[in-house]
Chains A and B, each alone.
Chain A
Amino acid sequence: MNLQRVAAMIQRHFYLYQRSPPRIMEIFFWPLMDLLVWGFITIYLQRTQLNLPRFVLFFLGALLLWDLLYRAQQGISISFLEEVWSKNLLNLFVSPLRPCEFLAALMTISVAKMLIAGLASALMAWWLYSFNVFVIGVALIPFTLNLLVMGWSIGIISMSAILRAGQQAEVLAWGLGFLIQPVSAVFYPVSVLPAWIQPVALALPSSHIFEGMRLVLETGILPYDSLIKATLLNGVIITGAIAFFYHTLRVVKDKGLLIQRGTE
Chain B
Amino acid sequence: MKQDTPPLALEVTHLTKSFNGVTAVNDISFTVSEGEIVGLLGPNGAGKTTLIQLLLGLITETSGTIHILGMDLKKDRSKILSQVNFSSSYVSMPTSLTLWENLNVFAKLYGIRDYKDQINRLLTLLEIHSLKDSLTRHLSSGQLTRLSLAKALLNTPRLLFLDEPTASLDPDMADKTRTLLKAIRDQYKITLLYTSHNMKEMQEISDRIIFLYQGKILVSGTPAAVLDHFKENSLESVFLKVARGGNAE
Quick check: A5 and B93 within 8 Å, CB to CB? Answer: no
Quick check: B81 and A96 within 8 Å, CB to CB? Answer: yes
Residue in contact with A87 in the complex, picked from B58, B91, B106, CB distance below 8 Å:
B91
Of A13-21, A47-55, A59-67, A124-132, the segment with at least 4 beta carbons within 8 Å of chain B is: A13-21
CA gap between A250 and B74 in the complex, in Å? 13
CA gap between A19 and B138 in the complex, in Å? 15
Quick check: A94 and B60 within 8 Å, CB to CB? Answer: no
From A8, A91, A98, name the one whose CB has the most chain B CB atoms within 10 angstroms.
Answer: A91
Quick check: B53 and A20 within 8 Å, CB to CB? Answer: no
CA gap between A94 and B78 in the complex, in Å? 9
* Cβ–Cβ < 8 Å partners of A19 in chain B: 96
Q: For B24, give the chain A residue with the smallest CB separation.
A: A256
Q: For B137, give the chain A residue with the smallest CB separation.
A: A86
Count B-side interface residues using an 8 Å CB cutoff: 37
Q: Which of A169-209 contact B (CB under 8 A)?
A: none
Interface residue? B34 (CB, 8 A): no
* Cβ–Cβ < 8 Å partners of A93 in chain B: 58
Q: For A86, give the chain B residue with the smallest CB separation.
A: B94
* Cβ–Cβ < 8 Å partners of A225 in chain B: none
From B79, B94, B101, name the one whose CB has the most chain A CB atoms within 10 angstroms.
Answer: B94
Quick check: A91 and B97 within 8 Å, CB to CB? Answer: no
Quick check: A97 and B95 within 8 Å, CB to CB? Answer: no
* Cβ–Cβ < 8 Å partners of A88 in chain B: 91-94
Quick check: A96 and B56 within 8 Å, CB to CB? Answer: no
CA gap between A178 and B96 in the complex, in Å? 30
* Cβ–Cβ < 8 Å partners of A9 in chain B: 105, 109
Residue in contact with A8 in the complex, picked from B56, B60, B98, B108, CB distance below 8 Å:
B108
* Cβ–Cβ < 8 Å partners of B90 in chain A: 87, 263
Interface residue? B104 (CB, 8 A): yes
Quick check: A11 and B104 within 8 Å, CB to CB? Answer: yes
Quick check: B108 and A94 within 8 Å, CB to CB? Answer: no
CA gap between A92 and B109 in the complex, in Å? 9
Interface residue? A119 (CB, 8 A): no
Whole-angstrom distance from the CB of A25 to the nearest CB of chain B? 15
Chain A residues engaging chain B, CB cutoff 8 angstroms? 2, 4-5, 7-9, 11-12, 15-16, 19-20, 82, 86-88, 90-98, 250, 253-256, 258-259, 262-263
- Lowest 6 CB-CB distances: which A-B pairs, in order? A8-B108, A87-B92, A86-B94, A96-B82, A12-B105, A94-B86
Chain B residues engaging chain A, CB cutoff 8 angstroms? 17, 19, 24, 49-50, 53, 56-60, 78-79, 81-82, 84-86, 88, 90-98, 101, 104-106, 108-111, 151
A-B contact pairs, 18 of them (CB 8 A): A4-B108, A5-B109, A8-B105, A8-B108, A9-B105, A90-B91, A92-B109, A94-B85, A95-B110, A96-B78, A96-B81, A98-B78, A253-B57, A254-B60, A258-B58, A258-B59, A259-B53, A259-B59
Contacts A2-B111, A5-B109, A82-B94 known; 12 new A-B pairs at CB < 8 A:
A8-B108, A12-B101, A15-B96, A15-B101, A86-B94, A87-B91, A87-B93, A88-B94, A256-B24, A256-B59, A258-B53, A263-B91
